[in-house]
Amino acid sequence: MENIKTKKPSLTTWILIATIAGISFGSIAGSWSANIKFIGDIFIRLIQMSVVLLVMTSVATAIAKVDRKDAGRMGFHTFKWIILLTIISALLGLALGLIIRPGEGIVITGAGGIAEPVAPTPLKETLLNFVPLNIIDSMARGDMVPCIVFSILFGLALGAYVNSESGNTIVLDFFVSFNAVIMNIIKIVMNLAPIGIFCLLANVAGSIGFKVVVPMLKFLGALLIGDLIQFLFYGNLTGIICKINPLKMPKKFAKMTIMALTTTSSAICLPTQMEDSVTKFGISRRVSDFTGPINMSMNSNGAVQCYVLAILFMSQASGIKLDAQQLFMAILLSSLMCMGTIVVPGGMVITYTFLASSLGLPLESVAILIGIDWFSGMLRTVVNVNVDVMISMLVANKLGELDRDVYNDIKTVVYEETARQT
């Protein structure tokens, strides 16, 4: 009798199992689950320790492999879509906030521990901070935009060196290989994802509890509706422009969606996003390496929708009506808050406090938003990550670097091998 080969569960399947098991265990174990949170934190740190190096080597090598004209075209189309879709998502958040009115019926209580009002950062200072004073310091602090700015300049200089009369590719080959090594580190760490996610979600279910969600279901419902609208609109838009079947997208997004929902971090999802962009969506390696890190740092459609909704929630919950100029400022500030930030768990207290103080809204309302931030973070991040891939597809399509045979599962490619082919 022939042995029947059973297919081993994929990493995506194990992550899904860990998600269900973590929530179930946390609900039973209660507050004790906080004792295993450190294991999940270790997993997050293991991914985070490589993200800056992955971003910098990916951007630098992607730029170095193309001439300046192509790099300019790639950058133009990337930022074109980032700006356009960010504005659309902000307007969607405004519309949902005005229609659903998530702040109505919420009773604001004391907000102990909330930070003092944060002074708005002038635009000139924001732009100045995009340029690193010390790249090592920027790397150490995880400031992604300064790192990307340096990587673009380094890539341009490296490309000019490679294309000079000497034609020496030793430095370029080194960084291509270094990037591959970093990806291998991340692949090793990703094998621990089910354990890390189990511990993180057990802590959420056991320590934070789900009772805090009940009075905020309206706010979370508005976020969920916005997510679905964005997926439908952006997915179909991408399908029409790229001439592909958008119905294939949900299955291809499955792995990174689960990662986004469970880690609530675009940065943690970046390695998975970049690999799946090439192997599942047919985006060329050089486009993925260029657009992936930039989208992760500067394109946050789920976040900008959430920020606008949060402003309207705070306004409605406190009974303070915002005029047309203040609503415009809400969209502008929310959009700017998404530019140049790397979305990691736990940073929303600063963001919400900044938005509240900038628009004269009471800080007491921030406490309620922070109480459910893990859940709203899930909905923010899944849109951030998936729309990043759609933008990469639109850019790749414009540059003629979208392989539809890969997207349609006719052909398979390996992410590491594509590094030397481009």
CATH number, position 194: 1.10.3860.10
What does the alpha-carbon distance between residue 409 and residue 411 come to, in Å, rounded to a whole number? 5
Contacts for 94 with CB less than 8 Å, ≥ 6 apart: 308, 312, 327, 330, 331
Is residue 246 in some structural domain? Answer: yes
If you average pLDDT over each of 203-217, 282-296, 344-358, which comes out highest? Answer: 282-296
**How many domains does the chain divide into?**
1
Q: Give the amino acid at 370.
A: I
Per the model's pLDDT, the better-predicted residue between 335 and 215 turns out to be 335
Residue corresponding to tokens 């098991």: 21
Least confident range from 163-172, 193-202, 359-368: namely: 359-368
What does the alpha-carbon distance between residue 294 and residue 101 come to, in Å, rounded to a whole number? 33
DSSP 36: G
Q: What is the domain range of residue 67?
A: 32-421
Is residue 141 in some structural domain? Answer: yes
Label residue 405 by pLDDT band (50, 70, 90). very high
Q: How many CB atoms lie within 10 A of CB 153?
A: 15
How does the average pLDDT of the chain come out, rounded? Answer: 81
Least confident range from 265-274, 276-285, 367-376, 407-416: namely: 367-376
3-state secondary structure of 402: strand
What counts of helices (H) and strands (E) characterise the chain? Answer: 19, 0
pLDDT of residue 192: 84
Q: How many CB atoms lie within 10 A of CB 348?
A: 23
pLDDT of residue 223: 93
The answer, yes or no, to whether residue 132 has pLDDT greater than 70, is: yes
If you average pLDDT over each of 65-74, 97-106, 205-214, 302-311, which comes out highest? Answer: 302-311
Task: Report, as an integer, the average pLDDT of 99-118.
Answer: 59
Label residue 347 by pLDDT band (50, 70, 90). low
Task: Report, as an integer, the average pLDDT of 201-216.
Answer: 68
Question: In angstroms, what CA-CA distances link 225 with 27, 218, 300, 306?
Answer: 27, 10, 17, 11
C-beta separation of 24 from 210 below 8 A: no
The strand pairing partners of 283, in sequence order, are: 402
Task: Report, as an integer, the average pLDDT of 35-58.
Answer: 82
The answer, yes or no, to whether residue 342 has pLDDT greater than 50, is: no
pLDDT of residue 188: 85
Is residue 416 in some structural domain? Answer: yes
pLDDT of residue 121: 56
* CB < 8 Å & 24+ apart, contacts of 173-177: 175/57, 175/60, 175/61, 175/64, 176/61, 176/419, 176/420
pLDDT of residue 37: 85
User: What's the pLDDT tens digit per position in 157-189?
Assistant: 888 888 776 667 888 889 888 988 887 887 788
Largest Cα span, the chain: 77
C-beta separation of 103 from 314 below 8 A: yes
Is residue 118 in some structural domain? Answer: yes
The answer, yes or no, to whether residue 12 has pLDDT greater than 70, is: no
C-beta separation of 218 from 38 below 8 A: no
What does the alpha-carbon distance between residue 332 and residue 108 come to, in Å, rounded to a whole number? 26
Q: Give the amino acid at 63.
A: I
Task: Report, as an integer, the average pLDDT of 188-196.
Answer: 84
pLDDT of residue 418: 59
Q: How many CB atoms lie within 10 A of CB 76?
A: 12
Per the model's pLDDT, the better-predicted residue between 233 and 356 turns out to be 233
N-to-C CA span, the chain: 47
Is residue 12 in some structural domain? Answer: no
Label residue 403 by pLDDT band (50, 70, 90). very high
The answer, yes or no, to whether residue 390 has pLDDT greater than 90, is: yes
pLDDT of residue 382: 93
Helix residue ranges, H only, 264-403: 266-279, 285-298, 301-318, 324-338, 348-358, 364-371, 373-398
